[in-house]
Amino acid sequence: MYKKNNRFRLIPAIDIIGGECVRLSMGDYGKVTKYSSSPAKVALEFEKMGFDRIHIVDLDGAKSAEPINLQALQDVASTTGMVIQFGGGIKSMESAQRAFDSGAYSVIVGSVAVKDPGLVCRLLEKYDNERVILGIDIKEGKIAINGWKEQINSNIYEFIKSYASMGISRIICTDISKDGMLSGPAFDLYKELRTIFPSLEIIASGGVSGMEDIIALEEAGLDGVVVGKAFYEKRIDLQKLESWLQNE
């Protein structure tokens, strides 16, 4: 159910704080909505709906030096057969390996991609560009890192270009101002990324309010979208979703 036309990926998201499934609003740790004490049960529900890929973010790890919620990752991996892409605290070879050992299929590098490009290069050499994803969080037009507490003045497009030349082939881009707000994605940003980087796999994240946004992102040429709060707040009609996915 997570793919359409063997191309567009629809990926449900689980964000974790203190071992629990939560969502933030605009990346603000002071605006937390808790949805479940068991990320594994939430993941299992998504799997029962037909999804076979899940996006997990360790929000505690995102503002720390390493992943914090690896037990929750292990629980999801042992409870489901889903392909897991995991981010939050991947800032060393060791932390990446722990994430893989805990059940992640791929890891998302965000803050470390800004601070230590050499490490990302080593990760790509040890694993490959299917298992290492570049995560770019945008806040007020700047790259935000370390749990969105710090903003970098680097040109977004030059930053992506440098990693594309290094071998990165997949990016997940989040506009923090949209994340968790159910106000619609940053369409202009994603369209520009699609135009500038036609060969990269570009996954949108943040702001999806319903099926219309998902359809519009596919029509804009994106390769997929990560969806969280719209699922939890029941903004997506599952019958319409299934009908759309089956409409080749």
Please give the Cα distance from 186 to 205 (Å, whole number). 9
Give me the pLDDT at residue 141, please: 82
Q: Largest alpha-carbon pair distance within the chain? A: 46
Note the pTM of the prediction, 2 decimals: 0.93
Please give the Cα distance from 120 to 149 (Å, whole number). 21
216 contacts 208 by C-beta, under 8 angstroms: no
- Write a three-state SS string for 51-92: CCEEEEEEHHHHCCCCCCCHHHHHHHHHHCCCEEEEECCCCC
Pick from 140, 122, 199, 206: nearest CA to 172 = 206
Residues designated catalytic = 15, 137
Give me the pLDDT at residue 127, please: 96
Question: Strands 3-4, 53-58: parallel, antiparallel or unpaired by DSSP?
Answer: unpaired
Give me the pLDDT at residue 248, please: 52
CATH C-level class of 10-246: alpha beta
Give me the pLDDT at residue 22, please: 96
Give me the pLDDT at residue 112, please: 94
The backbone torsions φ and ψ at residue 163, rounded to the nearest 5 degrees and listed phi first, read -80, -30
Please give the Cα distance from 62 to 109 (Å, whole number). 10
Domain boundary assignment for the chain: 10-246
The backbone torsions φ and ψ at residue 168, rounded to the nearest 5 degrees and listed phi first, read -60, 135
Give me the pLDDT at residue 2, please: 53
Q: In Å, what is the CA distance from 105 to each residue of 82, 92, 159?
A: 9, 17, 25
Give me the pLDDT at residue 1, please: 47
End-to-end CA distance of the chain, in Å?
13
Give me the pLDDT at residue 3, please: 55
Q: pLDDT below 50 — which residues of the chain?
A: 1
Q: pLDDT tens digits for 201-240?
A: 999 999 999 999 999 999 999 999 999 999 999 999 888 8
